[in-house]
Chain A
Amino acid sequence: MSFNVSVGLVDSGVKKGEDSYQLVIAGGGPAALSAALYAARYGIKHVVLESWKPGGQAALTAEIENYPGFSLIAGSDLTDAMKKQALQAGAVFHMETVETAVEKNDKILVKTDSAEYTTDYLIIATGAAPATLGVPGESKYYGRGVSFCATCDAPFFKNKRAIVVGGGDSAVKEALHLTHVVSELGLVHRRDKLRAEPFLATKLIEHKKVATYWNSHLAEVVGDDMGVTGVVLDTPEGKKHIDTDGVFLYVGTIPATEPFVSLVELDKKKAVLTRNIVGTSNPRVFAAGDVTNNGFRQVVTAVSEGARASAAVFDLIQNEE
């Protein structure tokens, strides 16, 4: 194990409550990091409120193979490099979670778990949290066999059995990561083919450790005092019990928009409804990345949207002067 220096995660603990900014960027993933880089380079007085999950969903991706310039890079290395670059450009980060954001006297008042900020403009780049299925046993065994992060928790399943639920890019990438560690891997998907990139999907399906359960749903996670012991699936042939030690869930995401409901219009799935890619229903608020309804949820699109959002803010500031 190398001493890869996650300087980006160092929390210097410097707080500046009740301060006034031109721009607050809410979020810590690629969209926010890109917005931070551009805001710093544009000389915008800003702060990034990155919450407790720096790097966002991308940091939890074991391997990224489709970010231009890198044939293969760990998601956490990529987001760490982005943060280092933003810090070098002068970006300011506070490790705080946004709780509410409301309009107040032609400004936006952002309240976090430990401070308040007044800002002219806001970029919402809070990403999305893993969705849950709400099936019996899922929350009971979270942390004791049920996981949303193969990158973090794979070592606990060395030479054990695990299943992955889902069929998108995240499910397939993390399932491939798990094949390096587990003895057997079940893949449970509600359709009869995967939505993930065909290249990765084929690699997974053909893997000797992988068994597939098509047109199947996770119905229950079962276990004992020590943790997960199995799952019950709804399959086309009826209920099926599978013995397993771990259950990794990649069944979609929920946009993290709760603090912003009074500021911007959301779509039916609670994503920020955008116009012209990064604009919102509120002229002082922009949005970027997985928190939006823009659809194609990739690191490469998130960083593009983050850059566009800061550029849009810069244009508005220039026009005011």
Chain B
Amino acid sequence: MPLLSEEDRTAIKGHFDLMTDDVTVTLTKAPGECETEAILSELSELSPRLSVDVVESKKESALLPSLSIGDTGRVLFRGIPSGYEFSSLLTGIIDCGRSENTLSEETISFLDNLQEDLHIRVFVTPTCPHCPPSVVLAHRMAAYSDRVVAEAIEANEFQELSVKYQVQGVPRTVINETYAVEGAQPESYLVEGLKKHMQAES
């Protein structure tokens, strides 16, 4: 039985029709059945522009399942993209499939002038409706700048990481281990906060 209803397939297809470029999603998973692989397979049927590569990993230390959206290797999702995070996955695919950039001029200027690499980790739960905007923003920054890697991390699935990064509420955005933002924040707030932090550090 398909995971997506006919109504959802129609709605998703409408979004995917906005894509002008081809997108590959690479799924790294443990051996065996995987619901994430099944949902990606259903999604790939909805657009000729979307293809899915599946890689099996036997490493016990790997964060699996793991998705890399597009071919940059910088737009990542760790865990099962279910619940509200399914919309983060869809938005990530649509973004990678369009040449148009939707970041603000201020954010683009900030990214163009980056002197160091940024590793953004956004901790989320599938039941958090405020989380996808934080993931989408981080993914857009990573898609734009080769100095940025953005990982969405499903906090329930990777509890060791959640403990390490002191996650007791979501979304929690941690950047380069040194800067953290609680809650869903507008793009301008995140960038301004980050600028100030980087100035203070330098």
Contact = CB atoms under 8 A, between A and B. Distances in A.
Nearest to A7: B11
Contact of B4 (A3, A87, A88, A153): A3
B184 interface: yes
Interface stretch (B47-55, B88-96, B109-117): B88-96
Contacts of A88: 11
A226 B166 contact: yes
Interface residues of A, number: 48
Given A76-B84, A113-B186, A156-B155, A151 B128 contact: yes
A222 B90 CA distance: 40
24 contacts: A1-B83, A3-B4, A4-B82, A5-B12, A6-B87, A7-B8, A8-B87, A9-B91, A12-B18, A13-B100, A53-B129, A84-B11, A97-B186, A113-B186, A113-B187, A114-B187, A142-B182, A144-B166, A147-B168, A152-B128, A152-B129, A153-B125, A156-B169, A157-B168
Contacts of A5: 4-5, 8, 11-12, 86-87
Interface string A151-167: 11111110000000000
A143 B83 contact: no
B168 A6 contact: no
Contact of B127 (A84, A147, A152, A246): A152
Interface in B107-135: 125-133
Interface in B58-106: 80, 82-84, 86-88, 90-91, 94-95, 98, 100, 102, 104
A1 B169 contact: no
A72 to B, nearest CB: 16
B167 A156 contact: yes
Interface of B: 3-5, 7-8, 11-12, 15, 18, 35, 39, 80, 82-84, 86-88, 90-91, 94-95, 98, 100, 102, 104, 125-133, 136, 155-156, 162, 166-170, 172, 180, 182-188
A225 to B, nearest CB: 8
Nearest to A79: B129
Contacts of A3: 3-4, 35, 39, 82, 86
A289 interface: no
Interface string A26-40: 000000000000000
A251 B138 CA distance: 32
A53 B171 CA distance: 12
Contacts of A15: 102
Contacts of A157: 168
